[in-house]
Amino acid sequence: MRNGIAVVALAMSVGMVGLAGQQGGDASYTPTRVNKAIELLAQDQPIYYTQVDGGGYEEGKALAQTWADYITYNLEHSPFDMTALRGFMQGLVDGGPTRSGHRTPTVIAVLPFGGISEAVMSANYWMVEQLLGSGVHGVLLAHAQSPAAVRVMVQAARYPHAPPADSIDEGLRGNGGQGFAARIWGVSNAEYQRMADPWPLNPDGELLLGLKIENRHALENADASVGTPGVGFAEWGPGDMSLSFNVNRSDNPAVLQNARNRVQAATRSAGIAFLDQMNAQNIEAMIDEGVRIGSNPGADVADRGRRYTNRMMPW
């Protein structure tokens, strides 16, 4: 318990330092969407995230005023604990709203399995429903090497009454699980079921779905996977890509550069956001290149990026 309290206290301390030092934007700004990340991406503004490996109510409350535009709730290598996740989301609500006026930061949950085949995704689609029912604003599929698996992920995030989409079968989410998520979003059950649909497939949707194209098999299908209707962003995963090609990442081999370029080209062709690592040395160049999601850059670097792009939304 002492360690848990210490972690929360540190998070709150870091958060308060970030709030004190990183302020900008138009104080009169009024949010137009539930999902802060989508609102910014629709304005062609880069977004920046921080990541947690699990956590419950206290951790959520401590991060409610985070410098980040969205929080990656990483379940790929952490316990699949929906009770903790629901507590985390409630903590964000109780510690909010954000300075931008949103009820919570956007939360994207990483699925605890890889998109290696349609069969694997179909067998585990219920996890998408469980995560979205906890009030998160989207999911991220690791090792997205099967376009068929990606299509099932999009199905799993949609309700049956959602507008039809090319190559995507009828939505798989069921009635009865929307109540908690609706309360987290601060909307009625009916409003939630209308709004909980992937963007930009649905221009009014508030769910953001992403892919990790992070091995050589996924790379072969990058264009088809990334171009699937309902996908909102993709990344190339240099760590896992290095393992897949059996190369040393620190050597910056051409095969990794080519992989990055291929995934970025696929996102550009699909008209969705590309995620990559940003730091103090490259943030302006990354933004100029078209990168629209910065991987855990920290408050100071994110502040630089926001000022560089003249962001109006407060932070």
Asked if residue 9 has pLDDT above 70, the reply is no
Q: Which two tokens stand for residue 309?
A: 């792009």
Asked if residue 4 has pLDDT above 90, the reply is no
Position 22 scores a pLDDT of: 65
| pLDDT, tens only, 212-225 | 999 999 999 999 99
| pLDDT, tens only, 259-275 | 999 999 999 999 999 99
pLDDT band at 18; cut points 50, 70, 90: very low
Model pTM greater than 0.85?
yes
Question: Letter for the amino acid at 101?
Answer: G
| pLDDT, tens only, 111-154 | 999 999 999 999 999 999 999 999 999 999 999 999 999 999 99
Q: Is 92 exposed, middle or buried (0-12, 13-18, 19+ CB in 10 A)?
A: buried
All domains in the chain, ordered by first residue: 2-18+34-308 (3.20.20.60)
Q: What share of the chain is helix, strand, coil (3-state, %, to 5)?
A: 45, 15, 40
In this prediction, residues 284-300 reach a mean pLDDT of 96
Distance between CA 115 and CA 215 in Å, rounded? 11
Of 141, 279, 295, 164, which is closest to residue 221 (Cα–Cα)? 141
Asked if residue 3 has pLDDT above 80, the reply is no
Radius of gyration in angstroms for the set of CA atoms belonging to the chain, rounded to a whole number: 18
